[in-house]
Amino acid sequence: MTLYDTNLNYALQELLLYSYDFTPIRKKIFDLFMRVSPLVELQIIFSIIPPIKTSSLIQDNVKSFQKKEICVKIYEMIRNSLNSHLEKSLNRFPKLKQSSKIEIKNNTDRFSISIKIKNLKNFTPKLIFAIASHFNVNVLGYCDEVRAKISILKPKLHKPEVVLNTKLKRVRATDMRKFLTLDDKESVLEFLKQPEVKKILLSNFYPYGAKKSHIKTEITFDVLKERVIAQKRRRILLSNGVYKLLHDVITPYTSNEEFLKIISNNNILGFYSSVRTTKTQEIVTAIIDIDISRFLRTSYSILIIWKLIIAFTEDLIRNLTSSFQLPTPLVVFSGNRGIHLVYRLEKDCINADFNYLDFSELYILPSQKYLVKNKNSILHSKFTFMRTLMQAILLYTIKNFAIQKIPKLIRNQLGILNTTDLFKISLHSNNEIGILLDTTPNNSGVHRCFSIHPKSGLVSIPLNDPITKLIAKRFKEYNIVKKESNRKFVIDNIKRGIKASYFQFPPVITKEHIKYLLQPDTLLPYLSLIVRFSDRWITERSTMSMKYWLDIYKLNNFYDYIKSILLSINLNGKNIGSFYQKIVLILKRSSIRTKAFVMDILDDYFFKKASFYSIKARLDALRHLEFYYLLKSNELSLLNSEKFELVHKTPFDRKKFHQKFIHFFNITLVLLVGLSKNNLQIKSNIDLAIKKLYFRLELLLREVNLLRSSNRDNKNFHDQLKMVQIACMYNILIKFFRNLKPFLLLYS
């Protein structure tokens, strides 16, 4: 983006003084549900006219040479904002799938949006208005005209009846939406002049304290404006007329008077701290931001939504502390409707030597070729790594979040079947309805620190109990959160000395914590899922698909992780015992079914009875055994003449079949060795299965030798005989596996 583009964007922000009033639409929808019954169908059509070449809105505010460019820019902004995935989002829910249809048409001179709703018993007036107001985006304020038409179809009528056809009123944004302006400057200064506020802010700007003041974060701040919402900036104007970055001006030793003067002269409303440091570009903070979609905010009361947020946050905290052995995060009210979970990272917690992160576990992840080439991937970028790690924690929580914890009203109205329909972990997800679990601040982003929200005017206060560190019970009610985050309430508490809850700081994540998270029995399979399918598409997968791929990666990650540890061990070293205990502990916690076989193989390696390459081959065979037994049991089918032709149809098919045969052959060898070493109660049944295997192989060998001797001179016959021999051996191994299956499951 050029400097000219940046200036153009600033000009556009200054022009956004108006919006359109959707109140007539809301009143008419609620009126129809109250008075007209029954309704068969309802249709809402919006006709939107953007500024084409010039607009009365920009006549007096912009230089003449910029007018045409601004109109083009506005047109693109409107088109992009209206290009909604709302209909696809509604299709996630069976009750709404067959009842709604949305069409958006873009022309050079106007936009048209048609919302058609049938089977109205599945909808409430609030839900219908939520669909309509979804298209009441900020950029409509640039438009010259917005018209709305509502039509209804009653029983026994063939033609729809138009009940509303009106030109929506353009009103000032300050009249429609509440936000802080320059008129609120005095009350803002009253809050920011408290010395305790400055102390809390400095603890965020200097994450490792005043003694390490060279390590500081980038600072962003909100600037109060006259008629528009506060805007983010990073540079302040000094008394000598020079602009400077705020983090270059404020130090731990800045006096209260000087601090307040900077705030007053620059009309500062609130502060944001970056997750990275200014010079060394180290990541110092990890953030999870829980934010509610506009659709849900319009459809349901904040009291219901807050209960859902708290239920999910408590589940998330339980997973962080119990499943992943992390300290309880600092939970911060965003100041409006959301919640932030904040961690501080230990200094040099994540190192990148030669532009690669020093976590060997990352080389177990899939798509290694892509990860190595992409310089912003999880292998190279600390910020991408931390973002993806937080996403993996969220994916784990979404998958295990009980659907019963979603408020009954939301469950029944939307017909929710899967929790993945209600949550998303990517800003770019097509799910317009989902609750955004945002981790993008970890990508060099910012988070609000003990400051006033520009829209609500509430303060972003910690919600933890200072003693238990869990979310305080009183904050489970939104009305109490709203009351205690009021800036006057906060000021009164500070003046009375009730400020312990405000002086809570993020707990520290160490390198040991991260190493624990990267184990195959914790987060590694979920990281693999996100790398394989991307954060945008992973929540789009069906429940069965996600379960299948999760099982695949639990299996692959476990065996790859064990092999990587074995390869790095010095069998003559002093720490050999701790390595052995670590592997045994991971083995016990894992979900694999062949634990007894793996234990035998590990004993052979640690007691130097086999080489690493022999152990690796046996572990690979066990991986394939579990894959074919539990995840791809349909592959254990016998070959008939038709299947035989299919697997030999092309060179690729032949190669695939031969690889599969080699897997089965190696599995058989491992089973024969493993089962012969153990004195089991079912030994007689296993002996019978092995005897049958030997008998069938001996019989096959005898028949093959007879055919060879009778057709010595026919080369084509010998080639065909090899293929038939492999197919017969394949069937013999399949029968062997089938005979052993009940005993193997019991043994494992």
**H or E element: which one contains 133?**
helix 125-133
Residue 143's pLDDT band (cuts 50, 70, 90): confident
58-80 confidence digits (pLDDT tens): 555 556 666 677 777 788 888 88
Residue 222: φ, ψ to 5°? -90, 135
Q: Judging by beta carbons within 10 Å of its beta carbon (0-12, 13-18, 19+), is residue 456 exposed, middle or buried?
A: middle
pTM for this entry: 0.89
Q: What is the DSSP string of 201-264?
A: HHHHHSTT-GGGTTS-EEEEEEE--SSS--EEESEEE-TTS-EEEGGGT--TT--HHHHHHHHH
pLDDT score of 445:
81
521 pLDDT above the threshold of 80? yes
The average confidence (pLDDT) of the chain is: 85
Radius of gyration for the alpha carbons in the chain, expressed in angstroms and rounded: 32
Angle formed by the axes of helices 612-626 and 651-676, to 10°? 110
In sequence order, what are the beta bridge partners of 235?
245
Q: How confident is the model at residue 147 (pLDDT cuts 50, 70, 90)?
A: very high
| Confidence band, pLDDT 50/70/90 cuts, at residue 271 | very high
**Could you tell me the two tokens for 18?**
């108006």
Residue 647 is predicted with a pLDDT of 76
Please give the Cα distance from 2 to 13 (Å, whole number).
Answer: 17
- Residue 1 has what pLDDT? 41
How far apart, in whole angstroms, are the C-alpha atoms of residue 502 and residue 463? 9
Q: Residue 53: exposed, middle, or buried by beta-carbon count in 10 A (0-12, 13-18, 19+)?
A: exposed
C-alpha span between 365 and 374 (Å, rounded): 14
Tens of pLDDT, residues 155-205: 777 788 889 999 998 887 666 667 888 889 999 999 999 999 999 999 999
676 pLDDT exceeds 80? no
Q: Is the predicted pLDDT of residue 286 greater than 50, yes or no?
A: yes
pLDDT at site 532: 93
- The mean pLDDT of 349-363, rounded to a whole number, is 83
pLDDT tens profile 412-439:
888 888 898 899 999 888 888 889 999 9
Query: E strands of 584-624, at which residues?
Result: none
Q: Which residues are CB-neighbours of 69 under 8 A, at least 6 positions away?
A: 8
pLDDT in tens, 453-485: 998 999 999 999 999 999 999 999 999 999 999
Q: How far is 713 from 50, CA to CA, in rounded Å? A: 85
Place of tokens 């169908």: 41
Specify the pLDDT at position 5.
Answer: 53
| CB-based contact 448:270 (threshold 8 Å) | yes
Give 19's strand partners.
171
